[in-house]
């Protein structure tokens, strides 16, 4: 998980904790059929930005903003992100 974070985003701050929220296994497309995911919640004391120059922008958003994106047909959201939303919502609703 830390290797993936290092590869994908620049963390401006420190990783304070991480916790497994669940697993993702989907067969909706050819890529998903050969991958298995672990969903982590990572707490940081700062911000993040994408490392990939092809990503126009990126950052942290609220759970409500994420729900709005997922329900808006103008946004293309990959299946794994849709699957990850419910465990995230459950986690934050428990607190």
**CATH number for position 54:** 3.90.79.10
Other beta carbons less than 10 A from residue 84's beta carbon: 19
Residue 75: predicted pLDDT: 92
HSE, CB side, 13 Å, CA atoms: give it for residue 3.
0
Residue 95: predicted pLDDT: 66
Maximum CA extent, the chain: 37
Q: Which residue has the tokens 């459950």?
A: 90
Domain holding 73, by residue range, is 2-94
Q: Which residues contact 37 (CB under 8 A, 6 or more apart)?
A: 23, 24, 25, 80
Residue 55: predicted pLDDT: 82
- Which residues of the chain are under the pLDDT cut of 50? none
């Amino acid at each position: 998980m830390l290797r993936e974070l290092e590869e994908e985003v620049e963390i401006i701050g420190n990783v304070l904790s991480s916790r497994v929220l669940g697993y993702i296994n989907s067969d909706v497309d050819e890529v998903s059929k050969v991958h298995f995911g672990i969903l982590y919640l990572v707490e940081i004391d700062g911000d993040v930005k994408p490392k990939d120059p092809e990503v126009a922008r990126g950052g942290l958003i609220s759970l409500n903003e994420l729900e709005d994106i997922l329900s808006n047909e103008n946004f293309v959201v990959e299946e794994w992100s849709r699957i990850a939303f419910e465990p995230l919502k459950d986690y934050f609703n428990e607190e």
